[in-house]
Amino acid sequence: MHVPIGLPWGLILGALILWSLLAFASLFIPKAPRIAPLIFPLGALGALCVAAAGLLALQGPPVTMVSPLGLPGLPFHGRMDALSGVFLVLFGLTTVAISLDLTGYRAREHYPVVARIGVQYHILLASLTLVFVAADAYSFLIAWEAMALSSYLLVVTDHHTRGARRAGFLYLLIEHIGALAILAAFTILIAQAGTGTRLVYTFAALHASHPDATVAGIAFLLAFLGFGAKAGLVPLHVWLPQAHPVAPSPISALLSSVLLKVGIYGLLRVTFMLLPTPAPWWGLTVLTVGLLTALLGALSSAVQSDMKRLLAYSSVENVGLITAAIGLALLFSAYGLKALAALALIAALYHCLNHAFFKGLLFLGTGSVLHATGERNLGRLGGLIHRMPRTAFMMLIGTLAVAGVPPLNGFASEWLILQSFLKATALPRPYLAMGIPLGAALLALVAGLAGYVMVKFYGIVFLGRPREARLAQAVESGPFERAGLGLLTLLCLAAGLWPAGAIALIRPAASLLTRADAPITISEAGARVDVAHAAYAPAILWVALGVVALATVLVLRARFSQAPRRAAVWNCGHPVIGARMQDTAEGFGQPIRRIFAAFLAVRSHHPAPDDRVPRYGSVVEDRFWEDLYRPAARGFEAIWAWTAALRPRRIAISLFCVLATLIVLLALAP
Amino acid sequence: MIAHLFMRQGVQILFVLAMAPLLAGWVRQCRAWLANRAGAGLLQPYRELLRLLRKQPVVPHEASALFVATPYIVFTTMVVASALVPMITIHLPLAGAADAVVLAGVFSLARIFAALAAMDLGTGFGSMGARRAMLVGFLAEPALLMVLFTPALISGSTSLVVIVRQLARHGVILYPSMAFAAVAYVMVTLAENARLPVDNPDTHLELTMIHEALNLEYSGRYLALIEWGAAIKLFVYIGIGAALFFPWGIAQGTSSAGLAIAYALFSAKLATAGAGLAVIETVFAKLRLFRVPEFLGTAFLLAVLGLLMRYLFGH
Residue A544 to residue B83, Cβ atoms within 8 A: yes
Contact A250, A634 (CB under 8 A): no
Cross-strand partners of B58: A565
Residues contacting residue A520 through CB under 8 Å, at least 6 positions apart: A343, A346, A503, A507, A529, A530, A531
**pLDDT tens, A118-127?**
999 999 999 9
Report, as an integer, the average pLDDT of B180-198.
91
CA–CA dist A16, A123 (Å, integer): 9
Nearest Cα of chain B lies from the Cα of A243 at a distance, in angstroms, of 29
CB atoms within 10 A of CB B90: 23
Q: B-chain residues within 8 Å CB-CB of A566?
A: 58-61
**CB proximity A121 to B under 8 Å:** no
Element (H, E) at A557: helix A538-559
CA–CA dist B107, A452 (Å, integer): 14
Distances, alpha carbon B44 to alpha carbons A479, B79, B194, in Å: 53, 21, 20
**CB proximity A465 to B under 8 Å:** yes
**CB proximity B288 to A under 8 Å:** no
**Chain-centre distance of CA B169, in angstroms?**
26
Residue A441 to residue B146, Cβ atoms within 8 A: yes
pLDDT of residue A86: 95
pLDDT of residue A47: 94
CA–CA dist B139, A594 (Å, integer): 14
CA–CA dist B197, B281 (Å, integer): 7
Nearest Cα of chain B lies from the Cα of A562 at a distance, in angstroms, of 6
**CB proximity B259 to A under 8 Å:** no
Q: A-chain residues within 8 Å CB-CB of B17?
A: none
Element (H, E) at A604: strand A601-605
Residue B119 to residue A459, Cβ atoms within 8 A: yes
pLDDT of residue B27: 94
pLDDT of residue A551: 93
Cross-strand partners of A604: A618
Residue B99 to residue A566, Cβ atoms within 8 A: no
Residue B225 to residue A541, Cβ atoms within 8 A: no
Q: B-chain residues within 8 Å CB-CB of A455?
A: 112, 115-116, 119, 130, 134
**CB proximity B56 to A under 8 Å:** yes
Q: A-chain residues within 8 Å CB-CB of B94?
A: 540, 544
CA–CA dist B86, A417 (Å, integer): 25
pLDDT of residue A1: 38
pLDDT of residue B79: 95
- Minimum CA–CA partner of A430 in chain B: B311
**pLDDT tens, A297-344?**
999 999 988 999 999 999 999 999 999 999 999 999 999 999 999 999
**CB proximity B293 to A under 8 Å:** yes
Q: Is the peptide bond prior to B197 cis by the omega test (within 30 degrees of 0)?
A: yes
Distances, alpha carbon A432 to alpha carbons A291, A629, B191, B308, in Å: 15, 32, 31, 12
Query: For B76, which of A532, A548, A588 is closest by C-beta distance?
Result: A548
Q: Is A80 helix (H, G, I), strand (E, B) or coil?
A: strand
Give me the domain span that covers residue B204: 2-313
**What confidence category does residue B29 fall into, taking pLDDT thresholds of 50, 70 and 90?**
very high
**CB proximity A422 to B under 8 Å:** yes
Nearest Cα of chain A lies from the Cα of B176 at a distance, in angstroms, of 17
Contacts 24+ apart (CB under 8 A), A283-286: A283/A327, A283/A328, A283/A329, A283/A330, A283/A331, A283/A332, A283/A333, A283/A334, A284/A327, A284/A331, A284/A432, A285/A221, A285/A224, A285/A327, A286/A224, A286/A323, A286/A324, A286/A326, A286/A327, A286/A330
* Torsion from C-alpha of A626, A629, A632, A633, nearest 10 degrees: -100
Residues contacting residue A590 through CB under 8 Å, at least 6 positions apart: none
Q: B-chain residues within 8 Å CB-CB of A386?
A: 64
Report, as an integer, the average pLDDT of A55-84.
86
Residue A566 to residue B60, Cβ atoms within 8 A: yes
Q: Is A523 helix (H, G, I), strand (E, B) or coil?
A: strand
Nearest Cα of chain B lies from the Cα of A449 at a distance, in angstroms, of 6
**CB proximity B301 to A under 8 Å:** no
pLDDT of residue A256: 93
Sign of CA dihedral B180, B186, B188, B189: positive
**What confidence category does residue A223 fall into, taking pLDDT thresholds of 50, 70 and 90?**
very high
Predicted complex ipTM: 0.94
Query: For B56, which of A400, A565, A569 is closest by C-beta distance?
Result: A565
Contact A291, A439 (CB under 8 A): yes
Residue scoring higher pLDDT (A601 or B297): B297
Max Cα separation, chain B? Answer: 61
CA–CA dist A343, A242 (Å, integer): 34
- Minimum CA–CA partner of B310 in chain A: A434
pLDDT of residue A576: 67
Distances, alpha carbon A369 to alpha carbons A312, A389, A474, A519, B117, in Å: 16, 12, 8, 43, 21
Amino acid occupying residue B15: F
pLDDT of residue A526: 64
- First CA to last CA distance, chain B: 38
Chain B neighbours among A 510-529 (CB < 8 Å)?
Answer: 528
pLDDT of residue A5: 61
Q: Whole-number mean pLDDT of chain B?
A: 88
Residue B216 to residue A454, Cβ atoms within 8 A: no
Helices within A374-478 (DSSP H only): 384-387, 389-403, 409-422, 430-462
CA–CA dist A583, A574 (Å, integer): 16
Choose among A353, A122, A402: nearest CA to A251: A122
Assess whether pLDDT exceeds 50 at residue A38.
yes
DSSP A75: E
Q: What angle do CA A281, A283, A285 make, to 5 degrees?
A: 65
Task: Determine which of B13, B51, B80, B144 to mutate to test the interface with A (most A C-beta atoms within 10 Å).
Answer: B80
pLDDT of residue B172: 63
DSSP A473: G
Q: Give residue A345's region: left, alpha or beta (phi > 0; psi -120 to 50).
A: alpha
Assess whether pLDDT exceeds 80 at residue A54.
yes
Residue B108 to residue A451, Cβ atoms within 8 A: yes
**pLDDT tens, B42-60?**
999 999 999 999 999 999 9
CA–CA dist B154, B159 (Å, integer): 12
Residue B98 to residue A565, Cβ atoms within 8 A: no
- The values of phi and psi at residue A427, to 5°, are -70, 140
DSSP A256: I
**pLDDT tens, A275-301?**
888 899 999 999 999 999 999 999 999
Assess whether pLDDT exceeds 90 at residue B210.
no
Residue A594 to residue B290, Cβ atoms within 8 A: yes
Residue B98 to residue A419, Cβ atoms within 8 A: no
Report, as an integer, the average pLDDT of A605-620.
81
User: What is the percent of chain A where pLDDT is above 70?
Assistant: 97
Q: Is A338 helix (H, G, I), strand (E, B) or coil?
A: helix
- First CA to last CA distance, chain A: 38
Query: For A447, which of B106, B131, B141 is closest by C-beta distance?
Result: B141
**CB proximity B300 to A under 8 Å:** yes
**CB proximity B166 to A under 8 Å:** no
Q: How many residues belong to chain A? A: 670
Q: Which of A57-61, A131-135, A573-577, B140-144 has the lowest mean pLDDT?
A: A573-577
Contact B138, A451 (CB under 8 A): yes
Residues contacting residue B104 through CB under 8 Å, at least 6 positions apart: B141, B144, B145, B148
Amino acid occupying residue B145: L
Contact A9, A74 (CB under 8 A): no
Q: Is A99 helix (H, G, I), strand (E, B) or coil?
A: helix
- DSSP per-residue string spanning A614-641: ---EEEEE-HHIIIIIHHHHHHHHHHHH
Assess whether pLDDT exceeds 90 at residue A72.
no
Element (H, E) at B59: strand B58-60
CA–CA dist A175, A231 (Å, integer): 10
CA–CA dist A339, A336 (Å, integer): 9
**CB proximity A576 to B under 8 Å:** no
Chain A neighbours among B 183-212 (CB < 8 Å)?
Answer: 204, 206
Most confident of A198-202, A284-288, A573-577: A284-288
CA–CA dist B29, B274 (Å, integer): 10
Assess whether pLDDT exceeds 70 at residue A40.
yes
- Minimum CA–CA partner of B110 in chain A: A405
Assess whether pLDDT exceeds 60 at residue A2.
no
Q: A-chain residues within 8 Å CB-CB of B83?
A: 544
Helices within A199-335 (DSSP H only): 203-208, 213-231, 239-246, 249-254, 260-273, 280-302, 307-334
Q: B-chain residues within 8 Å CB-CB of A499?
A: none
Q: A-chain residues within 8 Å CB-CB of B149?
A: 422, 437, 440-441
Contact A536, A529 (CB under 8 A): yes
Residue scoring higher pLDDT (A432 or A488): A488
CA–CA dist A433, A444 (Å, integer): 18
- The values of phi and psi at residue B70, to 5°, are -60, -45
Nearest Cα of chain B lies from the Cα of A277 at a distance, in angstroms, of 28
Residue A583 to residue B94, Cβ atoms within 8 A: no
CA–CA dist A380, A394 (Å, integer): 21
pLDDT of residue A294: 95
Number of folded domains that form chain B: 1
CB atoms within 10 A of CB A470: 11
**CB proximity B156 to A under 8 Å:** yes
Choose among A402, A407, A398, A403: nearest CA to A365: A398
**pLDDT tens, A448-466?**
999 999 999 999 999 988 8
Strands A534-536 and A565-567: unpaired
**pLDDT tens, B113-159?**
999 999 998 888 888 889 999 999 989 988 998 898 888 888 888 88
Q: B-chain residues within 8 Å CB-CB of A528?
A: 96-97
Q: How many residues belong to chain B? A: 315
